[in-house]
Chain A
Amino acid sequence: MDLMEKNLELIEVQKLEGHTDRVWNAAWNPVSPILASCSGDNSVRIWEQSSLSRSWSCKTVLEETHTRTVRSCSWSPSGKLLATASFDGTTAIWEDLGDEFECISTLEGHENEVKSVSWNASGSYLATCSRDKSVWIWEVLGGNEYDCASVLNGHTQDVKMVLWHPTLDVLFSCSYDNTIKVVWWSEDDDGDYQCVQTLDESTNGHSSTVWAISFNAAGDKMVTCSDDLTLKIWGADISMMHSGEGYAPWTHLCTLSGYHDRTIFSTHWSSDDIIASGAGDDAIGLFVDSKQHDPVNGPSYNLLLKKEKAHEMDINSVQWSPSKESRLLASASDDGMVKIWQLETTP
């Protein structure tokens, strides 16, 4: 099905109101129709979809734990745990007990604001990053115990986001220092995490703060977005890594520029290959592979649609739902709203 040939529209399904300050992040539960959002109001809201009416409502508010802005949230692969990263320097782990959530652990160690948290594919590791320039890797032990496995100090500035690769235990981080760093476990020197690659301006990288990273389902491509107003697509031969032949470096494939005229804060690659972007120009962009096989210049991407004024203020987060039923997208904004959108073909 070629999306470019259809008349597609991003329809607003529902507006979720409740947060009393900007919403920084929204995260879909991987297994249930649940959405988590976190805010400058120091709380996390859990929204659930009613199986009867199909509408979303706020099931519970996680408050009185973080004492400052909650900057990002991330569900464990099982969908049972939610990690929340806060400007108060801590990362809280919450367990969904059915009618309520309980904070089962608090990860401390960062010297100042924690910006992002990510679970690896198997849920055995967590990573966090902070304005203290470091990335911490935590091992998930039994009995609600979390142990710091490694502290990485490669970045020279505030680290904005961490993300584990979807299939390999390779960790990616992006920063105010304009670079993306790739880290993986090496058995040399008694075994530790090593930075195996840095994607910077010299390798066609970004020229300003990199705010977010997202992988395609296969994990052989990734998209990054930046304050330099571009999105960049990167690729790697990960079959090489899967077969144990060593590290396969990431290379720049394509740069998407001219679509947003303000900082692009978030990007997310859907399981059916649509890249969403959310920016300070209050717009959501959707991009797809042009499918033009250019042997010289490599892949290229086209704008599928741009939803102007998707929100009244900056968009901080865009996330595709993992649901196979329909193409749902969540967006979170400085205007205090979370919106759910559906990508539909218009008759």
Chain B
Amino acid sequence: MVSGLINENPIVYEIKERRDVRAYSSNTDELSVDAIDQLEVFDILFVCLDIKDPEHPYSLEQLKVLTEDSVEVDDSKSRVRVTFTPTVEHCSMATIIGLCVRVKLMRSLPSRYKIDIRVAPGTHATEAAVNKQLNDKERVAAALENPNLVEMVDECLSPSFE
């Protein structure tokens, strides 16, 4: 039976105990500018790890799409780069995943931040094309005016209640 999923059998990893660097309000995932003087890797990673995969009921952390090494931040220059690893090389969900990460960060980080998203080098067949699309601000803006796409992104970003 063809289910139409890009990756039928994703490898699901056990999440290791997360380092609790700072205390966060559990009600909001917004990083309060007052509480944090200097954003570090784990602050940014924290908001991304829970993002759900578009096709499977697992988080990007569980599928190792995002790991501790995914985030690079230079707070003094207000730059963040997130590198993610799609589960399969021909993953057409790569742009959706990238878009989800970008939207999550846009909603969580102070507006001064410049965000770059890319696929881990060598992990996708059309790496350059995916990266270009993910970092074209105008294309991202237009995509986010598409209600179907926004619905999909919001679904991936919605909290899962265990």
Q: Which residues of A contact B (CB under 8 A)?
A: 22, 40, 68-69, 71, 87, 112-113, 115, 131, 158, 160, 176, 208-209, 227, 262-263, 280-281, 312-314, 334-335
CB within 8 Å of A: which residues of B? Answer: 111-112, 114, 132, 136-139, 141-142, 145
Q: Which residues of A contact B114 (CB under 8 A)?
A: 262, 280-281
A-B contacts, 16 of them at CB < 8 A, read A40-B141, A68-B145, A69-B142, A87-B142, A87-B145, A113-B142, A115-B138, A131-B139, A158-B139, A208-B132, A227-B136, A280-B114, A280-B137, A313-B111, A314-B137, A335-B111
Do B111 and A160 touch (CB < 8 A)? Answer: no
Q: Of B112, B136, B145, which contacts A176 at CB under 8 A?
A: B136
Q: Are B142 and A131 in contact (CB under 8 A)?
A: yes
Does the CB pair B141–A209 fall under 8 Å? no
Choice from A68, A87, A209, A312 contacting B111 with Cβ under 8 Å: A312
| A209 neighbours in B (Cβ, 8 Å) | 132, 136
How many contacting A-B pairs (Cβ < 8 A)?
36
A160 touches B145 (CB 8 A): no
Q: B141 — which chain A residues lie within 8 A by C-beta? A: 22, 40, 69, 87
Contacts of B137 in A (CB 8 A): 263, 280, 314
A99: min CB distance to chain B, Å: 32
| Known A-B contacts A160-B138, A176-B136; A69 and B145 likewise in contact (beta carbons under 8 Å) | yes
With the chains together, A227 CA to B145 CA distance in Å? 23
In the bound complex, how far is the Cα of B139 from the Cα of A208, in angstroms?
15
CB nearest neighbor in B for A71? B138
Known contacts A176-B136, A209-B132, A263-B137; is A313 also within 8 Å of B112 by CB? yes
Residues of B within 8 A of A263 (CB): 137
- With A71-B138, A87-B145, A227-B136 known, 13 other A-B pairs at CB within 8 A are A40-B141, A68-B145, A69-B142, A69-B145, A87-B141, A131-B142, A176-B136, A176-B139, A208-B132, A209-B132, A263-B137, A312-B111, A334-B111
Complex contacts, A227 vs chain B, CB 8 Å: 136
CB-nearest residue of chain A relative to B112? A312
> Which A residues touch B136, using CB under 8 A?
176, 209, 227
